Amino acid sequence: MCRTPSANCRREHRAKRVRSVTVQTRKTSPAPGSRRVRRRDRHGRGLRGRLVPADVPLYRSRAQQFDDLVLDAVARLEPRWASELSGVEFAVQEVPDGDMLGDESAPVPLARIDPGARRPGSHPAGTARSPRIVLYRRPLLARADDEDELSELIFDVVVEEFAQLLGLDPDTIDPGYADGE
């Protein structure tokens, strides 16, 4: 053993240390130098969640995908109704408020219209808030079987609410509305 600390002494000391050994109990061993990554899938349901990491632009949450479908529905109406749509806000809410549900026999609403109202605390001659169409995400998702059906359902609801806001028939807003196209 060395008594003076030198580079050779340290190397000899490191060489005398016990090296750790990995013992594999399986009959099939992975290739030397590679690691086997274990992912748990206890109940055979496959991978959980999305396969794309959240920091990649491709990743979109379900709520964001729903918002995109609403924007697509509005975009389908824009070529014909651009001036009327410019004064309307569209919003998405998870579920209707408890006071809107009323009695249990009434169906759950899919959307609502908030007419333009004066902002609290604004000057009486001040500008009014623009009307808003609010779509409820969960009830719409519950009524659709797949994304194509959801897209058409959202479009139909947007057409119905926009027609009601303008005081028109939905066939006037979308000529293919009655045909179910």
Domains and CATH numbers, the chain: 62-99+106-117+129-173 (3.30.2010.20)
Taking only the tens place, the pLDDT of each residue in 155-180 is: 999 999 999 999 999 999 998 887 76
For residue 124, pLDDT beyond 90: no
Write the Ramachandran bin of 95: left for phi over 0, alpha for psi from -120 to 50, otherwise beta. beta
- DSSP symbol at 146: S
How far apart CA 72 and CA 78 sit, in angstroms, is 10
Q: Coil, strand or helix: which one is 92?
A: strand
Specify the pTM: 0.64
- How far lies 45's CA from each of 42, 49, 50, in Å? 8, 11, 14
Taking only the tens place, the pLDDT of each residue in 86-117 is: 999 999 999 998 776 666 767 889 999 998 76
